[in-house]
Amino acid sequence: MARKRVVRTQPITVPQVKALLGSLGEENLDQFQRRSLDYAAKFSKISSESAEKLLRELKEEAMLDEEESVQIVNCMPKSIEELRVFLAGGRKIIETSKLESILTLLDKYREKEEG
């Protein structure tokens, strides 16, 4: 049996997992992949395309790192208190105005999906 080699790892959002596994076709997925697709379908809060755009904006405009951005997109927090949980575990102080601008950005994507 040939060993598979990991070339690189990259954090991706739950909506991106849904799109990736969905593109493979459910009949081609093993049991674990089907469970992952089911989970992703239930817990995706926005589309894969919106998730990719939002990730880019969070990294460029809010200057967040990849991991923080992915977690924020996965959970789409609705308050400053919820948002603080994802940003360095409270180890660094982040201005309230920055947190508010991140929430405004999240709300913009929430409205796109609902509207």
Residues 30-85: pLDDT tens digits?
999 999 999 999 999 999 999 999 999 999 998 999 999 999 999 999 999 999 88
Within this chain, do residues 71 and 34 fall inside the same structural domain, yes or no?
no
Q: What is the pTM of this model?
A: 0.85
Count of C-beta atoms within a 10 Å radius of residue 59: 15
Would residue 7 count as lying in a domain?
Answer: no
Q: Is the pLDDT of residue 90 over 70?
A: no
Check which CATH number belongs to the domain holding 94 and give it: 1.10.150
- For the record, the structure tokens of 5 come out as 């080699």
Within this chain, do residues 62 and 101 fall inside the same structural domain, yes or no?
yes
pLDDT of residue 79: 96
Domain holding 103, by residue range, is 48-114
Within this chain, do residues 63 and 94 fall inside the same structural domain, yes or no?
yes
Calculate the CA 5 to chain-centre distance: 25
Predicted confidence (pLDDT) per residue in 12-31, tens digit? 999 999 999 999 999 999 99
CA distance linking residue 1 with residue 86, whole number of Å: 41
Would residue 84 count as lying in a domain?
Answer: yes
Sign of CA dihedral 12, 16, 18, 23: negative
Within this chain, do residues 29 and 53 fall inside the same structural domain, yes or no?
no
pLDDT of residue 89: 66
Count of domains for the chain: 2
Within this chain, do residues 18 and 54 fall inside the same structural domain, yes or no?
no
Would residue 2 count as lying in a domain?
Answer: no
pLDDT of residue 91: 66
Give the chain's radius of gyration (CA, Å). 16
